[in-house]
Chains A and B, each alone.
Chain A
Protein backbone atom coordinates (compact mmCIF):
# COMPACT_ATOMS: atom_id res chain seq x y z
CA UNK A 1 0.00 0.00 0.00
CA UNK A 2 1.15 3.53 -0.69
CA UNK A 3 1.70 5.59 2.42
CA UNK A 4 0.50 9.10 3.14
CA UNK A 5 1.56 11.26 0.22
CA UNK A 6 2.35 14.93 0.63
CA UNK A 7 3.27 17.62 -1.85
CA UNK A 8 5.28 19.66 -2.32
CA UNK A 9 8.18 18.15 -0.39
CA UNK A 10 9.99 21.48 -0.30
CA UNK A 11 8.77 25.00 -0.92
CA UNK A 12 10.46 28.36 -0.63
CA UNK A 13 8.19 31.35 -0.98
CA UNK A 14 8.20 35.04 -0.31
CA UNK A 15 6.38 36.64 2.56
CA UNK A 16 2.83 37.53 1.62
CA UNK A 17 2.41 34.75 -0.93
CA UNK A 18 -0.22 32.06 -0.67
CA UNK A 19 1.00 28.56 0.14
CA UNK A 20 -1.02 25.40 -0.46
CA UNK A 21 0.12 22.06 0.94
CA UNK A 22 -1.52 18.87 -0.24
CA UNK A 23 -2.09 15.48 1.27
CA UNK A 24 -3.42 12.13 0.10
CA UNK A 25 -4.15 9.84 3.07
CA UNK A 26 -3.88 6.09 3.01
CA UNK A 27 -6.88 4.58 1.26
CA UNK A 28 -9.55 3.48 3.71
CA UNK A 29 -8.36 5.68 6.56
CA UNK A 30 -11.09 7.65 8.31
CA UNK A 31 -8.97 10.21 10.12
CA UNK A 32 -6.63 12.81 8.69
CA UNK A 33 -4.35 15.05 10.73
CA UNK A 34 -2.21 18.09 9.99
CA UNK A 35 0.79 18.65 12.27
CA UNK A 36 3.47 21.30 12.26
CA UNK A 37 7.02 20.80 13.53
CA UNK A 38 9.38 23.60 14.54
CA UNK A 39 12.46 23.71 16.70
CA UNK A 40 10.79 26.05 19.17
CA UNK A 41 7.41 24.35 19.54
CA UNK A 42 8.08 20.76 18.56
CA UNK A 43 5.24 18.80 16.97
CA UNK A 44 1.83 20.45 17.22
CA UNK A 45 -1.54 19.22 16.02
CA UNK A 46 -3.16 21.89 13.85
CA UNK A 47 -6.42 20.26 12.80
CA UNK A 48 -7.93 16.85 12.23
CA UNK A 49 -10.78 15.47 10.14
CA UNK A 50 -13.00 12.43 10.57
CA UNK A 51 -14.78 11.21 7.46
CA UNK A 52 -13.86 14.47 5.71
CA UNK A 53 -15.42 16.64 8.44
CA UNK A 54 -13.19 18.96 10.49
CA UNK A 55 -13.48 17.88 14.12
CA UNK A 56 -11.01 20.05 15.98
CA UNK A 57 -9.18 23.05 14.58
CA UNK A 58 -8.15 24.55 17.90
CA UNK A 59 -4.50 24.15 16.98
CA UNK A 60 -4.73 26.32 13.88
CA UNK A 61 -2.57 29.31 14.78
CA UNK A 62 -4.64 32.08 13.22
CA UNK A 63 -7.04 33.00 10.48
CA UNK A 64 -4.30 32.95 7.89
CA UNK A 65 -4.42 29.16 8.10
CA UNK A 66 -7.24 27.11 6.62
CA UNK A 67 -7.69 23.43 5.84
CA UNK A 68 -10.15 21.53 3.71
CA UNK A 69 -10.93 17.93 2.91
CA UNK A 70 -13.24 17.84 -0.10
CA UNK A 71 -13.16 14.05 -0.33
CA UNK A 72 -11.73 11.01 1.40
CA UNK A 73 -8.55 11.01 -0.66
CA UNK A 74 -7.45 14.63 -0.58
CA UNK A 75 -6.81 17.44 1.86
CA UNK A 76 -5.19 20.87 1.64
CA UNK A 77 -3.64 23.20 4.17
CA UNK A 78 -3.49 26.78 2.99
CA UNK A 79 -1.60 29.73 4.41
CA UNK A 80 -2.57 33.15 3.11
CA UNK A 81 -0.69 35.42 3.46
CA UNK A 82 2.43 33.55 4.51
CA UNK A 83 4.91 34.98 7.03
CA UNK A 84 8.49 34.00 7.90
CA UNK A 85 7.33 32.56 11.25
CA UNK A 86 5.29 29.99 9.31
CA UNK A 87 8.53 28.32 8.22
CA UNK A 88 8.31 24.75 9.48
CA UNK A 89 7.80 21.17 8.42
CA UNK A 90 4.13 20.38 7.92
CA UNK A 91 3.13 16.75 8.32
CA UNK A 92 -0.04 15.06 7.23
CA UNK A 93 -1.01 11.81 8.93
CA UNK A 94 -3.88 9.38 8.76
CA UNK A 95 -5.29 6.40 10.57
CA UNK A 96 -8.13 3.97 10.29
CA UNK A 97 -10.88 3.88 12.87
CA UNK A 98 -10.41 0.72 14.87
CA UNK A 99 -6.92 0.39 13.48
CA UNK A 100 -5.29 0.05 16.86
CA UNK A 101 -4.64 3.78 16.99
CA UNK A 102 -1.61 3.40 14.76
CA UNK A 103 -1.08 6.69 12.99
CA UNK A 104 0.90 6.95 9.77
CA UNK A 105 2.78 10.09 8.82
CA UNK A 106 3.69 11.44 5.44
CA UNK A 107 7.22 12.56 4.70
CA UNK A 108 6.38 16.19 5.39
CA UNK A 109 6.37 19.43 3.45
CA UNK A 110 9.36 21.62 4.29
CA UNK A 111 8.22 25.25 4.04
CA UNK A 112 10.52 28.24 4.10
CA UNK A 113 9.04 31.73 3.94
CA UNK A 114 11.60 34.45 3.22
Chain B
Protein backbone atom coordinates (compact mmCIF):
# COMPACT_ATOMS: atom_id res chain seq x y z
CA UNK B 1 0.00 0.00 0.00
CA UNK B 2 0.90 3.64 -0.20
CA UNK B 3 3.47 4.88 2.29
CA UNK B 4 3.14 8.31 3.86
CA UNK B 5 6.18 9.54 5.73
CA UNK B 6 6.48 12.76 7.65
CA UNK B 7 9.54 14.55 8.90
CA UNK B 8 10.77 15.55 11.30
CA UNK B 9 9.00 13.26 13.79
CA UNK B 10 9.18 15.96 16.43
CA UNK B 11 10.24 19.57 16.64
CA UNK B 12 10.73 22.11 19.39
CA UNK B 13 10.59 25.80 18.52
CA UNK B 14 10.83 29.08 20.33
CA UNK B 15 7.87 31.34 19.85
CA UNK B 16 8.35 33.48 16.76
CA UNK B 17 10.45 30.96 14.85
CA UNK B 18 9.59 29.55 11.44
CA UNK B 19 9.42 25.88 10.51
CA UNK B 20 8.89 23.56 7.58
CA UNK B 21 7.22 20.18 7.88
CA UNK B 22 7.52 17.64 5.12
CA UNK B 23 5.27 14.84 3.84
CA UNK B 24 6.55 12.27 1.35
CA UNK B 25 4.24 9.78 -0.30
CA UNK B 26 5.12 6.73 -2.33
CA UNK B 27 2.48 6.78 -5.05
CA UNK B 28 0.42 9.17 -7.12
CA UNK B 29 -2.39 10.77 -5.17
CA UNK B 30 -5.49 12.77 -6.02
CA UNK B 31 -6.09 14.14 -2.57
CA UNK B 32 -3.71 15.51 0.01
CA UNK B 33 -4.75 17.24 3.19
CA UNK B 34 -2.94 18.69 6.18
CA UNK B 35 -4.45 18.45 9.65
CA UNK B 36 -3.55 19.85 13.04
CA UNK B 37 -4.35 17.83 16.15
CA UNK B 38 -4.27 20.15 19.15
CA UNK B 39 -3.18 19.06 22.63
CA UNK B 40 -6.81 18.28 23.48
CA UNK B 41 -7.01 15.79 20.63
CA UNK B 42 -9.17 17.77 18.24
CA UNK B 43 -8.36 17.30 14.53
CA UNK B 44 -8.66 20.39 12.39
CA UNK B 45 -8.38 20.44 8.63
CA UNK B 46 -5.78 23.01 7.56
CA UNK B 47 -5.47 22.58 3.81
CA UNK B 48 -6.80 20.53 0.96
CA UNK B 49 -3.86 20.72 -1.43
CA UNK B 50 -3.35 17.93 -3.99
CA UNK B 51 -1.09 20.29 -5.95
CA UNK B 52 0.11 23.87 -5.96
CA UNK B 53 0.41 26.35 -3.12
CA UNK B 54 -2.09 27.77 -0.66
CA UNK B 55 -1.78 30.23 2.17
CA UNK B 56 -3.92 30.86 5.22
CA UNK B 57 -2.53 33.47 7.58
CA UNK B 58 0.77 32.30 9.04
CA UNK B 59 0.41 28.88 7.46
CA UNK B 60 1.07 27.91 3.89
CA UNK B 61 1.40 24.63 2.06
CA UNK B 62 2.93 23.48 -1.19
CA UNK B 63 2.47 20.14 -2.91
CA UNK B 64 4.67 18.99 -5.78
CA UNK B 65 2.65 16.02 -6.96
CA UNK B 66 5.13 14.97 -9.65
CA UNK B 67 7.84 14.62 -7.01
CA UNK B 68 5.49 13.15 -4.41
CA UNK B 69 5.95 15.52 -1.53
CA UNK B 70 4.18 18.29 0.29
CA UNK B 71 5.49 20.97 2.64
CA UNK B 72 3.71 22.84 5.41
CA UNK B 73 5.24 26.16 6.44
CA UNK B 74 4.55 27.76 9.78
CA UNK B 75 5.80 31.31 10.18
CA UNK B 76 6.11 33.32 13.39
CA UNK B 77 5.07 30.30 15.43
CA UNK B 78 2.86 30.72 18.49
CA UNK B 79 2.31 28.44 21.46
CA UNK B 80 -1.16 27.67 20.09
CA UNK B 81 0.52 26.02 17.10
CA UNK B 82 1.66 23.19 19.36
CA UNK B 83 0.27 19.75 18.63
CA UNK B 84 0.64 17.08 15.98
CA UNK B 85 0.53 17.84 12.27
CA UNK B 86 -0.66 15.11 9.96
CA UNK B 87 -0.73 14.84 6.24
CA UNK B 88 -3.21 12.43 4.69
CA UNK B 89 -3.46 11.21 1.12
CA UNK B 90 -5.79 9.28 -1.10
CA UNK B 91 -4.53 7.18 -4.00
CA UNK B 92 -5.02 8.47 -7.51
CA UNK B 93 -7.55 6.35 -9.34
CA UNK B 94 -8.98 5.03 -6.12
CA UNK B 95 -11.90 6.08 -3.99
CA UNK B 96 -11.55 9.67 -2.89
CA UNK B 97 -12.48 8.83 0.64
CA UNK B 98 -9.86 6.46 1.97
CA UNK B 99 -7.48 8.94 3.46
CA UNK B 100 -4.23 7.36 4.58
CA UNK B 101 -2.60 9.33 7.39
CA UNK B 102 1.08 9.82 7.95
CA UNK B 103 2.70 9.26 11.34
CA UNK B 104 2.66 12.95 12.13
CA UNK B 105 5.08 15.63 13.32
CA UNK B 106 4.86 16.56 16.98
CA UNK B 107 5.45 20.29 17.36
CA UNK B 108 6.07 22.04 20.65
CA UNK B 109 6.30 25.83 20.61
CA UNK B 110 7.84 27.25 23.76
CA UNK B 111 7.17 30.79 25.02
When A and B form their complex, what is the total count of cross-chain residue pairs whose Cβ atoms lie within 8 Å? 48
Knowing A100-B48, A103-B33 are in contact, say whether A55-B41 is a contact too (CB < 8 A): no
Residues of A participating in the B interface, judged by any CB pair closer than 8 Å: 31, 33, 42-45, 48, 50, 55-56, 89, 91, 93, 100-105, 107-108, 110
Are B45 and A104 closer than 8 Å at their CB atoms?
A: yes
Q: Does B83 contact A (CB under 8 A)?
A: no
Q: Residue on A with the closest CB to B32?
A: A101
Are B101 and A42 closer than 8 Å at their CB atoms?
A: yes
We find that the number of chain B residues with CB closer than 8 angstroms to chain A is 22
Knowing A31-B97, A33-B97, A100-B48 are in contact, say whether A105-B104 is a contact too (CB < 8 A): no
Which residues of chain B are within 8 angstroms of A103 by Cβ–Cβ distance? 33, 45, 99
- CB interface residues, B 68-104, toward A, < 8 Å: 86, 88, 95-104
Which residues of chain B are within 8 angstroms of A110 by Cβ–Cβ distance? 41
Which residues of chain B are within 8 angstroms of A108 by Cβ–Cβ distance? 41-43
20 further interface pairs, Cβ-Cβ under 8 Å (given A55-B97, A56-B95, A105-B42):
A42-B101, A43-B88, A43-B101, A44-B101, A45-B100, A93-B43, A101-B31, A101-B33, A101-B48, A101-B96, A102-B45, A102-B48, A103-B45, A103-B99, A105-B43, A105-B44, A108-B41, A108-B42, A108-B43, A110-B41
Tell me the bound Cα distance from A108 to B41 in angstroms.
8
What 1/0 mask marks residues of chain B from 29 to 49 whose CB sits below 8 Å from any chain A CB?
001010100001111110010
